[in-house]
Amino acid sequence: MPPDSDISSLKKAVEKQNVLLEENNQMLHKLRRYQTTTFWLTMIWYALLVGLPFAVYYYIIGPYVEALGFSNGEFSASIKEIPGYSQFENFFGLGGE
């Protein structure tokens, strides 16, 4: 085999290797971008799941509860007037007995 054919076959192999490396690099960048986007969307989703109920109560339900005149002490006192609540407290060990 002449040495020119060895060099040309090595050049072709190196060029093919470079093309494959570029494709691989592009795919890895896409995966990284997808992973980062997914992470932040997941964080936003969990923040909404945790924060949304508090915001709904504070801005929507809370003013109506206060307008009706309920305070925390009145609400817990009125809950205790429900028939069967003392059995519920005793069953779950919440009662003061």
pLDDT, one tens digit per residue, over 25-72 is 999 999 999 999 999 999 999 999 999 988 888 888 888 877 777 666
- State residue 75's pLDDT score: 67
CB 32 within 8 A of CB 25: no
pLDDT digits (tens, 9 = 90+) for 6-29: 889 999 999 999 999 999 999 999
User: Residues of 54-89 as b/e, b for ≥16 C-beta within 10 angstroms?
Assistant: eeeeeeeeeeeeeeeeeeeeeeeeeeeeeeeeeeee
Q: Give the residue extent of every domain in the chain.
A: 3-92
pLDDT band for position 1 (cuts 50, 70, 90)? low
Q: For residue 96, is pLDDT > 60?
A: no
* 69 SS3 class: coil
Tokens of 84: 């069967």
Q: Does the pLDDT of residue 2 top 70, yes or no?
A: no
Distance of CA 37 to the CA centre of its chain: 12
Q: What pTM does this model have?
A: 0.54
